[in-house]
């Protein structure tokens, strides 16, 4: 049986580059070599594309220059070798990128031009979920509870007395909690906006939600959706930012994920159904992790949607899927199947 030729794109030039490499390493460890012939396409922090043997140490230096062809007459990879370009055909692309240029529709646009099937959300779904302010507007119009918020542009003056504290200040289009600050009073606001603006020209000032932080992994397209087990992030202090810690593989300094969440069965189902509603409202396909808050009165409030969630050994998405009986090797199969056929088998 011919193996499926899968291009796996990882790295990238966003602040989430190191997380992407770790995700790719987990994919490499769990990819079924009997089914798939992988072509590893790493993107360096400077934006150079390299065809390499895998996401191991030194891939940036050992790889050959390569690009995904946007020309449907030359589909697949164009690899530079001895001054000439070699063409390698691909059956499907599995993006393992996080953040800007990976989850925001940029890569998806290139893949749409190429005509190669790819895993995950399309251009509109990716762009919409990446921009938290737009995601809140669309989800809110679909009847889903969202935090109160306002947006601020770079260099726009903000009257600190116009804000009701506490709030979270965050880049509108970033991930893994980079540039996020919890602000308890007026004297902290300007510094928090400045910190967020290092990552995006659009900053969100978001009302703090008094509730437990929960999440749900979703897999599928349109009406055929599979929900992983709900998790809950137990915080000792601060907010969830494990990807910024020095040794996240050994645990977090301030958070513990509980999977399945220590909630009643009815509440877990309510969280799963809300996650599915958010996924559909924002036009997601393939896979996404939906992060929410659960208030004491039972209201489920959208936090954010990650359209290419982390797949590291400590990431939430694969843990929630594994708890629902879908280990990472099977999860990769289902994600690739969705890209190729539109169904998760």
User: Considering 9, 26, 310, 317, which one is annotated as catalytic?
Assistant: 310
Q: How many CB atoms lie within 10 A of CB 58?
A: 9
Question: In angstroms, how far is CA 201 from the centroid of its own chain?
Answer: 20
Identify the active-site residue in 6, 9, 19, 301: 19
Number of Cβ within 10 Å of residue 283's Cβ equals 17
Q: Which of 170, 232, 289, 316 is catalytic?
A: 289
**For the stretch 184-206, what's the b/e string if a residue is b when 16 or more beta carbons lie within 10 angstroms of its beta carbon?**
eeeebbeebbebbbebbebbbbb
CA–CA dist 132, 147 (Å, integer): 11
Pick the catalytic residue: 243, 268, 285, 319? Answer: 243
310 is catalytic: yes
Q: Is 237 a catalytic residue?
A: no
Q: Is residue 98 annotated as part of the catalytic site, yes or no?
A: yes
Both tokens assigned to 176:
């893994």
Among residues 118, 136, 314, 317, the one annotated as catalytic is: 314
Tokens of 167: 């709030």
1: helix, coil or strand?
coil
Q: Is 243 a catalytic residue?
A: yes
17 is catalytic: no
Catalytic residue, candidates 6, 7, 16, 22: 22
List 156, 222, 224, 249, catalytic entry: 249
**Strand pairing category for 64-68 and 4-11:** unpaired
Q: Can 249 be counted among the known catalytic residues?
A: yes
Q: Counting beta carbons within 10 angstroms of the beta carbon of residue 175, is it exposed (0 to 12), middle (13 to 18) or buried (19 or more)? A: buried
d(CA 91, CA 75): 9
Q: Rounded to whole angstroms, what are the CA distances from 170 to 52, 99, 136?
A: 35, 14, 14
Catalytic residue of the set 50, 98, 316, 319: 98
Contact present, 30 and 329 (Cβ < 8 Å)? yes
Can you tell me the distance from the alpha carbon of 337 to that of 37, in angstroms, rounded to the nearest whole number? 15
Euclidean distance between CA atoms 15 and 35, whole angstroms: 32
Contact 157/136 with Cβ under 8 angstroms?
A: no
Q: What are the catalytic residues?
A: 19, 22, 98, 243, 249, 289, 310, 314
């Amino acid at each position: 049986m011919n193996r499926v030729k899968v291009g796996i794109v990882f790295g990238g030039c966003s602040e989430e580059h190191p997380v992407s490499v770790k995700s790719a390493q987990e994919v490499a460890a769990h990819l079924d070599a009997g089914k798939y012939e992988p072509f590893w396409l790493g993107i360096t922090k400077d934006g150079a594309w390299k065809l390499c043997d895998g996401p191991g140490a030194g891939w940036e230096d050992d790889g050959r220059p390569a690009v995904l062809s946007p020309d449907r007459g030359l589909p697949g990879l164009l690899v530079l070798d001895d001054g000439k370009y070699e063409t390698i055909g691909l059956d499907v692309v599995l993006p393992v990128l996080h953040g800007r240029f990976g989850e925001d529709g940029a890569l998806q646009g290139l893949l749409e031009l190429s005509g190669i099937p790819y895993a995950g959300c399309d251009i509109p779904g990716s762009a919409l979920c990446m921009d938290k302010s737009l995601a809140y507007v669309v989800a809110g119009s679909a009847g889903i509870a969202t935090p109160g918020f306002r947006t601020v542009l770079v260099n726009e003056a903000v009257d600190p007395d116009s804000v009701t504290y506490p709030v979270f200040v965050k880049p509108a289009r970033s991930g893994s909690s980079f540039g996020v600050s919890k602000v308890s009073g007026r004297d902290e606001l300007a510094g928090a906006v400045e910190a967020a603006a290092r990552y995006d020209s659009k900053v969100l000032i978001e009302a703090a939600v008094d509730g437990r932080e929960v999440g749900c992994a979703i897999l599928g397209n349109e009406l055929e959706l599979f929900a992983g087990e709900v998790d809950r992030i137990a915080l000792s202090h601060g907010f969830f930012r494990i990807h910024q810690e020095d040794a996240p593989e050994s645990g977090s300094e301030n958070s513990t994920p509980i999977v399945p969440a220590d909630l009643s069965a009815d509440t877990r189902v309510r969280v799963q159904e809300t996650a599915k509603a958010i996924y559909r409202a924002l036009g997601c396909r393939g896979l996404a992790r939906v992060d929410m808050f659960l208030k004491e009165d039972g209201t489920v409030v959208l936090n954010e949607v990650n359209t290419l969630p982390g797949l590291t050994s400590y990431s939430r998405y694969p843990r929630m899927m594994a708890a629902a009986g879908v280990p990472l090797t099977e999860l990769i199969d289902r994600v690739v199947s969705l890209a190729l056929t539109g169904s998760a088998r």
